[in-house]
Structure 1
Amino acid sequence: MATAARDEAFPLAGPRSLDPLLERIGDARYVAIGEASHGTADFYRWRADLTRRLIEEKGFSFVAVEGDWPDCHVLHQSVTGAPGAPDDPAAVLDAFERWPRWMWANTEVVRFARWLREHNLALPEERRVGFHGLDVYSLWESLHAVLDHVRAHDPEHEERALAAYRCFEPYAEDPQSYALSTSLVPEGCRDEVAALLAQARAHAERERAAAVGGSPTEFAAWQNAETVAGAERYYRAMVGGGPESWNVRDAHMADTLDRLMDRQGPGARAVIWEHNTHIGDARATDMADAGMVNVGQLLRERHGADGVVLVGLGTYQGTVVAADDWGLPPRAMAMPPARAGTVERLLHEALGGRSALFAWNGDGSVDGNGAASWRRAPLDHRAIGVVYRPDTERWGNYVPTVLGDRYDAFLYLDRTRALDPLHRYEHGRGEEDTFPSGQ
């Protein structure tokens, strides 16, 4: 297997060495780029380098990330030069509140966002590249945004928005409190949210009928209403445990991406930034046995005919930013060498400690090595969340994976370093992922 891996490797030494991957991407409309941890600077940098080339050379329309819609919408306004938006995207990222802030409030994202704004300001408004959040967590932030929008633009329906707000108000913006309440009162705020969402959709459709693509303001309000609905389903599912809350979250992210693509029109092309556990096809891992689906699987199922390229990233050894427990401050931790029997150990030994790019055939076929190819063998593949305990490496932090089925390409980085957060402290616990934790 080591020989086969070595034979398939392209040297990785700067943005131009991504040429084989750009060729593999071709005319694909969806490129999802992963990461094996949320706290590795090299993952963010290579992801940004690839995204820059996709924007500059292939005309990709927007970047969609594993982040909150409201926070990312402010960043979107900054990088697209919207009137009244902050001139420096760093100011927006510095104001991100949800734990773990270092996922987006870090020097690598600042560097990319500043480049994107500079790139956009040289273009006409209709061609500027957006930055959007796909995630489901911002129930209260999105609810406030919908209420503010209705009061300003649709005041005759303010009571419907207020009904949803009043229903959630007793839980004092504590998602766990709301989730637990639904075990006693199963209907929770479902009816109020459904009414709010129906109104937001109807208003957005009226605006869309009146203008090509509709109003950006109305679309943002509609998406905030969709997020309220998705978050309500997510927190309700948390009570039951198991895979359902994960599935609700990833389906919401895939649905949000569909809405963004639909709004952009037939020529739209999307770059997606998420953890490997979201963008690598779940069917090529043990996630499928647990009843889980993810964004990568849904992209292939829904949009395979439009071209979907899933790009995983991995590392053998280095340092990583993470927390010792949920809600605690981030710190740089030593990440030990990958254990035996893993993708990362195989590649480290096959390549002699060098980094490499792998990009295989679009039909998933294997060249020359048949079923014995290294990327057809089930191997453990490193996955580190926002909470990390290096002493659990002997049995945890890996996902059983058939790499050639999970991804269409893979960037292997032998040694990596920790991310540089904008903040050295954290406040608040945020919304804890329960299945699995922190990815």
Structure 2
Amino acid sequence: MSRPSARSVVKEIATGFVDLDVRRSDEPDDGPIAWPGYRAAREAASKRSGEDESVLCGTAEIGGVEAVVIAFEFGFLGGSIGQRTGDRVEAAFARAVESRLPVVSLIATGGSRMQQGMRALSQLQRIARAAAGARSVPQISVLRDPTTGGGWATLGASADVILALPEAQVGFAGSRVRPADAPAEAYTAEAKLAWGQVDRIVPPAALPGVLERWLRLLTSPTTEAADPPHALGSAGLPDSGWAAVQAARAADRPRAAEYLDAYFEWREDVSGDRCGGVDSGVLCGFGWRGGRTIAYAAQCGTATLPAGFRTAARLVRLASRLGIPVLTFVDTPGAANDAAAERAGAGAAIAELFEAIAGAAVPITTLVIGEGGSGGALAFAAPGSTWVTPNAYFSVTTPEAAAAILKLPADEVPALADRLRLRPQDLVELGIARSVVGPADRG
């Protein structure tokens, strides 16, 4: 199977690529463990690929944004990671930190180089240390075919944003070492997207534009808090608690996607909790508004799954690290509370988001746009910086759940909604919300 060279891949997405000048580790011609024929294999790989190592590292411009680029050359011993690969990757991250440049890794590797034994495997620790030391700059990985072994378990899976080419082979186990009965589809970019381990699959033709957008988003920090969005829909306040609940539950009420589309000029989503889960009822990502970037984590009106809380926590931690303010939208009847949610660690996931928001080093703005059901809603809210729309409510729990807890009959639910003081205006009086937002001025 013919694969494009690393330099041709870089040329497709970037301009002005300049190789880094990297000091190479001393290495005997036959490698650190004197592997028979290693020198000849390297020479043949160099002649075939036109490169002297399995990775190119340099600086380039992607859509006008300067970045450090790490590009694997699969034609050189299968893009395998050896000692000199580690030299180059380490130098690339050092340059990124020194120059405050984002890192884009274009990965195509079969893993560690067998002919170097443990010296090759130990490069994974070196690469992980270099990437960890560069957390002050954005890191984006692009998973090409294949991305397996240590390439996936270091540069690939550890990046802030993970993009993948369609049908790329992605997995820790390469095709020659995985179980014979393992389904091939489990080792694809599409599977990793479904399992919350990849943010987006991008066709090659679209990759330059997508990378440009991501680089613009992640390199535009600001200290200014996000303004709360204007309310969409009805501007009238409910006259009772039960009316507030009914308004929040109305099928035609504006939802998070509508608010995001109205608020941002354009945006890019992240997807998944990186440990096997995706919650389609939570939208997270970064958006462009008025020349600056704002991160968002939005509930979409469904019971929030553990994966949703973990994805939101991932988003908040990333935004905090990069100096990007966050906007959250509260809209859920509550956290999912079935057996599957408990098995997936609902309590720990909610705690993770509470902690991420409590420890954020950037301002967080919250707008309650629908149902605010108990702790599953509160986990998305910023203390002291929460606003509410007229067709929303926020409560210690839903009126129905409160009735069940207090052993009250179902016909008392509407009256109980009043006693819970969950209307928008009640939330302002109680100091939970700063104010009720109105619709945009159309005049």
TM normalised by structure 2 equals 0.23
Bigger radius of gyration, 1 or 2? 2
Please state which structure has a larger fraction of its residues in helix: 1
Larger relative contact order (C-alpha < 8 A, sep ≥ 6)? 1
Please state which structure has a larger fraction of its residues in strand: 2
TM normalised by structure 1 equals 0.23
